[in-house]
Structure 1
Amino acid sequence: MNVPPDRRALKGRGAASNPEGRFENIRHQAEDDGWPRELLDEETPRPRTEVTEERARSVISRNDSPDIGFSQAINPYRGCEHGCIYCFARPSHSYLNLSPGLDFETRLRAKSNLAEVLRGELAKPGYVVSPINIGSNTDPYQPVEKRWRLTRAALELLAECHHPCTIVTKNALVERDLDILAPMAREGLVRVLVSVNSLDNRLAAKLEPRASAPHRRIQAIGALHAAGVPVGVLVAPIIPALNDRDMEAVLAQAAAAGASSAGYTTVRLPWELKTLFREWLALHVPQRAEHVMSLVRQMNGDRDYDSDFSTRMHGQGVFADLLRTRFTVACRKHGLTRAHDLKLDTSRFVPPRKASPQGELF
Structure 2
Amino acid sequence: MDDALPQPDSARAAIGGRGAASARVPQRFGLAERSIDGEWRDIREALDGPAPKLTTTVTEEHPRSIISFNQSPDIAFDRSINAYRGCEHGCVYCFARPTHAYHDLSPGLDFETKLFAKPDAARLLRETLARRNYRPAPIAMGTNTDPYQPIEGRYRITRQLLEVCLDCRHPVTITTKSDRVLSDLDLLAEMAELGLVAVAISVTSLDPRLSGLLEPRASAPEKRLAALGRLAEAGVPTHCSVSPVIPSITDEFMEEIVQRAAAVGVASAGWIPLRLPHEVSPLFREWLDVHYPDRAGKVMSIVRSIRGGKDNDSDFFSRFKPNGVWAELFRARFRLACKRAGIGKAKFDLDCSQFRKPAPGGQMRLL
**2:307 aligned with 1:300, yes or no?**
yes
Separation in structure 1 between the aligned mates of residue 30 and residue 82 of structure 2, nearest angstrom: 25
Q: Work out which of the residue numbers 174, 182, 185 in structure 2 matches 1:175.
A: 182
**2:85 aligned with 1:102, yes or no?**
no
> What corresponds to 1:257 in structure 2?
264
Q: Work out which of the residue numbers 8, 11, 14 in structure 2 matches 1:9.
A: 14
Give the alignment's TM-score, normalised by structure 2.
0.93
Matched to 1:310, the amino acid is F
> What corresponds to 1:315 in structure 2?
322
Matched to 2:251, the amino acid is D
Would you say the 8 A contact 1:13–1:102 is kept in 2? yes
Would you say the 8 A contact 2:14–2:290 is kept in 1? yes
Would you say the 8 A contact 1:274–1:304 is kept in 2? yes
Separation in structure 1 between the aligned mates of residue 41 and residue 276 of structure 2, nearest angstrom: 35
Separation in structure 2 between the aligned mates of residue 346 and residue 34 of structure 1, nearest angstrom: 57
Separation in structure 2 between the aligned mates of residue 205 and residue 24 of structure 1, nearest angstrom: 33
> What corresponds to 2:23 in structure 1?
18
SS at match of 2:307: coil
Would you say the 8 A contact 1:120–1:354 is kept in 2? no
**2:341 aligned with 1:347, yes or no?**
no
Pairwise CA distance, 1:308: 1.9
Separation in structure 1 between the aligned mates of residue 178 and residue 45 of structure 2, nearest angstrom: 38
Matched to 2:127, the amino acid is G
SS at match of 2:321: coil
Matched to 2:295, the amino acid is R
Q: How does 1:277-288 map to 2 (within 5 A)?
A: 277-288=284-295
Separation in structure 2 between the aligned mates of residue 51 and residue 75 of structure 1, nearest angstrom: 15
SS at match of 1:141: coil
Separation in structure 2 between the aligned mates of residue 170 and residue 356 of structure 1, nearest angstrom: 31
Separation in structure 2 between the aligned mates of residue 34 and residue 144 of structure 1, nearest angstrom: 32
Q: Work out which of the residue numbers 186, 190, 198 in structure 2 matches 1:191.
A: 198
> What corresponds to 1:54 in structure 2?
61
Separation in structure 2 between the aligned mates of residue 2 and residue 26 of structure 1, nearest angstrom: 16
Would you say the 8 A contact 1:10–1:46 is kept in 2? no
SS at match of 2:173: strand
| Structure 1 unaligned spans of 5+ | none
Q: How does 1:1-362 map to 2 (within 5 A)?
A: 3-5=9-11, 7-21=12-26, 22-31=28-37, 32-33=39-40, 35=42, 39=46, 42-339=49-346, 341-353=347-359, 355=361
Distance 1:42 1:191, change over 3 A: same
Would you say the 8 A contact 1:76–1:110 is kept in 2? yes
Question: Could you tell me the percent identity over the aligned residues?
Answer: 51
Pairwise CA distance, 1:337: 1.8
Q: Which runs of 4+ in 1 moved over 6 A?
A: none
Matched to 2:353, the amino acid is S
Would you say the 8 A contact 1:218–1:253 is kept in 2? yes
Q: Aligned pairs, how many?
A: 357
Separation in structure 1 between the aligned mates of residue 24 and residue 135 of structure 2, nearest angstrom: 41
Give the alignment's TM-score, normalised by structure 1.
0.94
Would you say the 8 A contact 1:231–1:259 is kept in 2? yes
Separation in structure 2 between the aligned mates of residue 210 and residue 178 of structure 1, nearest angstrom: 22
Matched to 1:30, the amino acid is I
Matched to 1:144, the amino acid is I
SS at match of 2:40: coil
Separation in structure 1 between the aligned mates of residue 41 and residue 65 of structure 2, nearest angstrom: 51
Would you say the 8 A contact 2:77–2:139 is kept in 1? yes
Separation in structure 1 between the aligned mates of residue 88 and residue 338 of structure 2, nearest angstrom: 31
Matched to 1:245, the amino acid is E
Separation in structure 1 between the aligned mates of residue 76 and residue 111 of structure 2, nearest angstrom: 26
Distance 1:354 1:270, change over 3 A: farther
Would you say the 8 A contact 1:24–1:97 is kept in 2? no
Q: Deviations over 1:105-130 (max 9, x none)?
A: 00000011000001011111111110
Pairwise CA distance, 1:329: 1.3
Separation in structure 1 between the aligned mates of residue 224 and residue 291 of structure 2, nearest angstrom: 24
Distance 1:29 1:171, change over 3 A: closer
Would you say the 8 A contact 2:8–2:283 is kept in 1? no
SS at match of 1:61: strand
> What corresponds to 2:3 in structure 1?
none
Separation in structure 1 between the aligned mates of residue 316 and residue 273 of structure 2, nearest angstrom: 13
Distance 1:56 1:277, change over 3 A: same
Separation in structure 1 between the aligned mates of residue 282 and residue 41 of structure 2, nearest angstrom: 27
